[in-house]
Chain A
């Protein structure tokens, strides 16, 4: 039972490049989320999705794009990476709502040089 996976686990890129972080879950959960975690800020919601083809902004969406063509996948794209987007990114999923129990993937550590 793979649960929720993220790839890549580590990524180094340069300012201005496009980067896509992948998230895949095998539970058929309806809801999926992207967070970033930075020292001093805790976990902050970037985007979330209630179902395939339904996405919405979270607290810090600027500079990010998401899509959800299939229930199990929720990729996050940084269209033109900036140094301020250096962070650890976590994908999460929930079976029963935006404000209910969430289960997290292992995270992607992204460094933008």
Chain B
């Protein structure tokens, strides 16, 4: 099993709808979880971090963590064309951060 797994996409979502991005991880003792956004040709940008089970909301973004299921997700409400990007899930393991390969999100105008 890959350490941090994401569907590569592309995930196409109509403008104004909710985009749901999912990530699973293999290390049960992981405690820190991050979502990065990466526009084409640009560097990753941190958008959310979550450390406890449950939901964490920041504006239009909600991160959800379920440690029992080893699952973390990112919801983007009222999706905008500017949300079109690759979203990287990152999880700590052995004092390092391991990145997933990312999910490409395309918001349809």
| Chain A binder among B13-21, B43-51, B53-61, B71-79 | B43-51
A103 B102 Cβ-Cβ under 8 A: no
Closest chain B residue to A44 by CB distance?
B99
B43 A99 Cβ-Cβ under 8 A: no
Closest chain B residue to A40 by CB distance?
B101
Give the size range of B's interface with the partner.
10 to 19
Q: What are the residues of chain A within 8 A of B96 when measuring CB–CB?
A: 45, 48, 58, 98-99
Closest chain B residue to A6 by CB distance?
B43
Q: What are the residues of chain B within 8 A of A42 when measuring CB–CB?
A: 88, 99-102
Q: What are the residues of chain A within 8 A of B43 when measuring CB–CB?
A: 90, 104-107
Q: Please classify the interface of chain A as helix (H, G, I), strand (E, B), loop, or mixed, using the class held by over half of its residues.
A: loop
Interface membership of B22, Cβ < 8 A = no
Q: List 18 A-B contacts (CB under 8 A).
A: A42-B99, A43-B88, A58-B96, A90-B44, A97-B95, A98-B96, A98-B97, A99-B31, A99-B32, A99-B92, A99-B93, A100-B32, A100-B92, A101-B34, A101-B46, A101-B49, A105-B43, A106-B42
B residues whose Cβ falls under 8 Å from a Cβ of A: 31-32, 34, 42-46, 49, 88, 92-93, 95-97, 99-102
